[in-house]
Amino acid sequence: MFALPSASRAIAGRMAVSARVPALGTMHVRNLNLHEYQSQNLMKDWGVSVPKSVVVENVDDVLNACKQIGTPKMVIKTQVHAGGRGKGTLSSGLQGGVHVIDSADRAQELAKQMLGYKLKTKQTQGDGVMVNKLMIAEGVDVVAECYFAILLDRATNGPVMVASAEGGMDIEEVAHSRPDAIFKEFIDINHGPTDAQLENLAKGLNFEGDSKTQSKEVMNNLYKMFIGVDSTQVEINPMCKLSDGRVMCVDAKIGFDDNAEFRQADIFAQRDTAEEDPREVEASKYDLNFVGMDGNIGCMVNGAGLAMATMDIIQLHGGKPANFLDLGGGVTESSVGQAFKILTADPKVKGILVNIFGGIVDCGLVARGIIAAANNLGINIPITIRLKGTNEEEAQKLISNCGLKLTMLEDLDEAAINAVKSA
């Protein structure tokens, strides 16, 4: 799925191409998004200092949460899967999804204007995302805000630490207008960061004395976490120097490698689907990858490469894809049925193009799945099918003899033209 843009994207985009976060490559990947409070709990487990916090879902719980925090200054923060909250706007009219406060009354007042409203930020789409959770945290006395991230670098085939002394809410602007204020250290994945590298980073971030030692420890522990949890991206903005000399991570965004789901069960169990596209959530239950778009042709494909090619060719012939649904490798008749159900549930879909390459996948099985789905669901939109590879002759026979209005074409151009014309 398209990942939400993050500051690290803007920053990586300003760096050498080599360090760019893959854009198209992530299209078929379901990225796990954690909330800030979940990321902070994880960081705490790895010995990284974060502010004490409590999560609430109801205004009635705010008072109690403030008592638990018990500091004179507190911060109230919307928990959504998007950055830029500080400068965002709520649909209640409230400016800012992050506020520093000095009383529980104020916390309640703000919670009333946050919970149940949508937050719109630079990183959200449409009219924003619904706020269902708030974090109330100890308010720390910040004297400097830095940016620190660990990303994966293509050219060096390994992690890269990216840092800037000018962190905080304007980091995208810094990345854009003063890219030299951002520096990096490439990490040897077999050895982790050297002391000299951590020293360079800490100095570049203007940490001195005990704060410098602490910041090195924070960065080193973040790196251990990055490796230990199969992370693909850790972004801390801001990593703060406090007035008492402590170094603390005040905000966090952590991305995970979906292929590691089997060994990071605890982390993936924290997935909050409330903000995700319900069609995508439904698809993922059947190991299907769904990506929604604006057009009117539903695409059923196998493999991300074929998905791109299919979308390109639809556009070449003047059409627009409504979505694409990637069946992946382990296709069964019933997963084809589920795929059709998801594709046709969208009223915008006026036609379907199936483009499957049968390598491991048996075209006969796909054909039977399509016919069963078309019968069961009573699909009355035009369906164009291109099945190539293993058992395509059987598939052709099944489709010709099924008595349904299915068009099977061998040539991808012809199939795309047919799908565009008939939709």
Quote the distance between the C-alpha of residue 198 and its chain's center: 28
- Nearest residue (beta carbon) to Mn ion: 251
Query: How far apart, in Å, are the Cα atoms of 83 and each of 7, 195, 212, 348?
Result: 8, 31, 27, 30
Closest contact distance (angstroms) between CB of 50 and ligand GDP is: 10
Single-letter residue type at 52: K
According to the annotation, is 251 in a ligand binding site?
yes
Q: Alpha-carbon distance 2 to 272, whole Å?
A: 17
According to the annotation, is 41 in a ligand binding site?
no
Pick the closer one to ligand GDP by CB: 28 or 85. Answer: 85
Query: How far apart, in Å, are the Cα atoms of 206 and each of 75, 149, 160, 349, 387?
Result: 25, 16, 20, 55, 60
Pick the closer one to ligand GDP by CB: 51 or 382. Answer: 51
Pick the closer one to ligand GDP by CB: 246 or 348. Answer: 246
Query: How far apart, in Å, are the Cα atoms of 403 and each of 132, 368, 406?
Result: 49, 13, 8
Pick the closer one to ligand GDP by CB: 9 or 85. Answer: 85
The catalytically annotated residue of 235, 280, 286, 392 is 235
Place of tokens 């909050």: 272
- The answer to whether the CB of 21 falls within 8 A of the CB of 12 is yes
- The answer to whether the CB of 342 falls within 8 A of the CB of 293 is no
For 69, residues 6+ apart whose C-beta sits below 8 A from its C-beta are 52, 53, 54, 136, 137, 138
Residues in contact with Mn ion, total (CB under 5 A)?
A: 2
According to the annotation, is 170 in a ligand binding site?
no
235 is a catalytic site residue: yes
According to the annotation, is 217 in a ligand binding site?
no
Token pair listed for 129: 């995302």
Pick the closer one to Mn ion by CB: 67 or 73. Answer: 73
* Residue 98 interaction partner, one of Mn ion, ligand GDP, none, beta carbon < 5-8 Å per kind: ligand GDP
According to the annotation, is 109 in a ligand binding site?
no
Residues that bind ligand GDP (CB under 6 A): 51, 75, 77, 83-86, 98, 100, 139-140, 142, 145, 168-169, 237-238, 250-251
* Residue 165 interaction partner, one of Mn ion, ligand GDP, none, beta carbon < 5-8 Å per kind: none
DSSP letter at 21? Answer: P
- The answer to whether the CB of 366 falls within 8 A of the CB of 387 is yes
* Residue 142 interaction partner, one of Mn ion, ligand GDP, none, beta carbon < 5-8 Å per kind: ligand GDP
Alpha helices in 378-423 (DSSP H): 392-401, 412-422
Closest contact distance (angstroms) between CB of 237 and Mn ion is: 4
**Within positions 186 to 245, which residues make up the interface with Mn ion, using CB under 5 A?**
237
**Under the criterion CB under 5 A, does residue 79 sit at the interface with Mn ion?**
no
Give the interface with Mn ion as residue ranges (CB under 5 A): 237, 251
- Residues making up the binding site: 77, 84-86, 145, 237, 251, 302, 359-361
Active site residues: 147, 235
- Residues making up the binding site for Mg(2+): 237, 251
